[in-house]
Amino acid sequence: MRVIKRIKWAGWVALILFSAVTLGAIYHLVSPEIEASSGTNQITEKEEKRQDFSEDASLNVRTETKETNTYTMSISMPTLKSKSLDTPIKEWIEQQKSVFIEEVERNNAVLSADNLAYLTIDLKVETAGELYSLLFTSYQYVGKGQPTQVFKTFTVNMRTGESVQLHDIIHLNDQTSGTIRTLIKDQLMGREEWKDYVREDVLNEKLSDLDDLKWSVNKQALDIFFDQYEVAAGSVGGIEMKIPLEALRSYLNPTLLNNAQLEHMTSIEKSQLDPNGKYIALTFDDGPSPKVTPRILQTLKQHGAKATFFMLGKQVETYPQIAAQVANDGHEIANHSYGHPKLTKMTSQEMIKEMSEANTKIEMATGIEPVLFRPPYGAYNSDVVHYAKMNDYSMILWSVDSLDWKSRNSAAINDIVTNNVTNGSIVLMHDIHASTAEALPELLVKLKAEGYQFVTVSELLMLQNENGAGPHFGHVS
């Protein structure tokens, strides 16, 4: 006798729903393993903040990240209105990705969760007048051997949308070309970490046509890049060097640079300061602050005083209008890092990221790319000095510490500064403490009565015939 009973319609519905839920649960439990074994890729994308460079052109940057069980990718991808640049950039990125994937497939047997391949393409944007240079740095590791570093540069006139070559900004006659070749060779052969590894015959060949160089331009320098292994042993890594625009001044195309660069280079030279005068550089760290910085700006304006503001990138990001007001009032803008870490505790890459991020935020808010920086806490070592040299920064410390951060007392601030200042001093203060804003009016009156004038750090360094990376401290009493 059969005991199987006929199931009614409602029962079938319940059975089907139960089976679907059960199968779904089983699928979700095993699907990660199925994905891992089949190499399914997880792709995520995020849009970064849009940067508008002019009324006619903009740069939209997004970062594409991709993770699998054998490799990771992180690629910064710009989209330009300039099709003459947008297309070759996309083609180069796709070529980098294609070569990387081929190598990953070839080395699949040695790749694992403990030995992941990676491709990282970073983007840095530099400006000079109407020119915008895009520097891509590709870091690649394919599971064996050493990671490699490759550069690619593109420069565009953002007003016209046209791609720009080196001969467009520099008159490349025989004399100019010879000067640039000499400057490049002197740097490569003069640096301790490079000179014994450079293959001079290969370098000479690379320099035969300067238009083939990888380069970018900013307000201070023409930057030259060589890939890892391109002109030196692989242990050197990628090579980045800077040629100050001052060294190329007579060869530059002022029309293309819209004269902005030449004016920047000569602005300090035109200063009519009496070399026999008494000068002090007032400096303010850690701002801008919405409550304190405007008060300090008002006091400085009332006394006709100029100062140098060492800004934090995160503060500028939060209060860009105040940062812009500091610049509009004619004060000097300088870099104090993004988040105020001790640079001596960071790796070189961490330090570069920290300072570059601050520079980007400051330039976006003020339109000024800083050439001075002050390491947080005044802490520096050989790595920090090397960073300053490589990036054409002047590292600024101080000779008089107002201790406003400690006393938070206006009378104490005035006593310390007036008792320790001398001609040529660099005075450390902070535009984040209300007591500093309270102390400043009386301090300026006292110092002016003693014959002091208030200048920017750059003006003071020029008067003292000091240049280069430093560190620069100013004079003590």
**Tens digits of per-residue pLDDT, 377-407?**
999 999 899 888 877 789 999 999 999 999 9
Number of H helices, E strands in the chain: 16, 19
Catalytic residue IDs: 285, 430
pLDDT at 270 over 60: no
What 3-state DSSP class applies to 169?
A: helix
φ, ψ of residue 463 to 5 degrees: the values are -65, -35
What residues are paired with 141 via a beta bridge? 118
Neighbours of 180 (CB within 10 A): 23
What residues are paired with 66 via a beta bridge? 43, 73
Residue 194 confidence class, pLDDT cut points 50, 70, 90: confident
Please tell me the predicted confidence (pLDDT) of residue 275: 78
Question: Highest mean pLDDT range out of 141-150, 211-220, 467-476?
Answer: 141-150
The fraction of the chain above a pLDDT of 70, given in percent, is 83
Residue 156 confidence class, pLDDT cut points 50, 70, 90: confident
Residues 399, 358 contacting (CB under 8 angstroms)? no
DSSP state of 193: H
Closest listed residue to residue 327, CA positions, set 351, 295, 363: 363
- The Cα diameter of the chain in Å comes to 121
Residues 231, 144 contacting (CB under 8 angstroms)? no
φ, ψ of residue 369 to 5 degrees: the values are -95, 115
pTM of this prediction?
Answer: 0.53
Residues 299, 441 contacting (CB under 8 angstroms)? yes
DSSP for 122-150, written as a single string: EEEEEEETTEEEEEEEEEEE-SSS--EEE
pLDDT at 13 over 70: no
Closest listed residue to residue 371, CA positions, set 424, 279, 308, 294: 308
Whole-number mean pLDDT of the chain? Answer: 82
pLDDT tens digits, residue range 98-143? 999 999 999 999 999 999 999 999 988 877 767 888 999 999 999 9
**Helix 320-328 with 348-366: angle, nearest 10 deg:** 70
Task: Give the separation between CA 309 and CA 197, rounded to whole angstroms.
Answer: 41
Please tell me the predicted confidence (pLDDT) of residue 255: 62
Please tell me the predicted confidence (pLDDT) of residue 319: 94
pLDDT tens digits, residue range 228-245? 999 999 988 899 888 877
- Token duo for residue 72: 């990771």
- Amino acid at the residue 192: E
Residue linked to tokens 């400096």: 283
Sequence-distant (6+) residues with CB within 8 A of 427 are 280, 281, 282, 283, 398, 399, 400, 402, 417, 421, 474
Residue 176 confidence class, pLDDT cut points 50, 70, 90: confident
Residue 272 confidence class, pLDDT cut points 50, 70, 90: low
Structural domains of the chain, with CATH: 42-164 (3.30.565.40), 167-259 (3.90.640.20), 270-463 (3.20.20.370)
Sequence-distant (6+) residues with CB within 8 A of 435 are 404, 407, 408, 409, 410, 413
Judge if the upstream peptide bond of residue 32 is cis by omega within 30 degrees of 0.
Answer: no
Residues 472, 396 contacting (CB under 8 angstroms)? yes
Neighbours of 357 (CB within 10 A): 16
Long-range contacts of 271-275 (CB under 8 A, 24+ apart): 271/459, 271/462, 273/455, 273/459, 273/462, 273/463, 275/463
- Token duo for residue 34: 């199925």
Residue spans of beta strands (DSSP E) within 297-399 = 308-311, 332-335, 372-373, 394-395
Task: Give the separation between CA 32 and CA 12, rounded to whole angstroms.
Answer: 31
In terms of Cβ atoms closer than 10 Å to its own Cβ (0-12, 13-18, 19+), residue 353 is middle
Residue linked to tokens 């003693």: 450
Residues 148, 122 contacting (CB under 8 angstroms)? no
In terms of Cβ atoms closer than 10 Å to its own Cβ (0-12, 13-18, 19+), residue 56 is exposed
Task: Give the separation between CA 390 and CA 130, rounded to whole angstroms.
Answer: 24
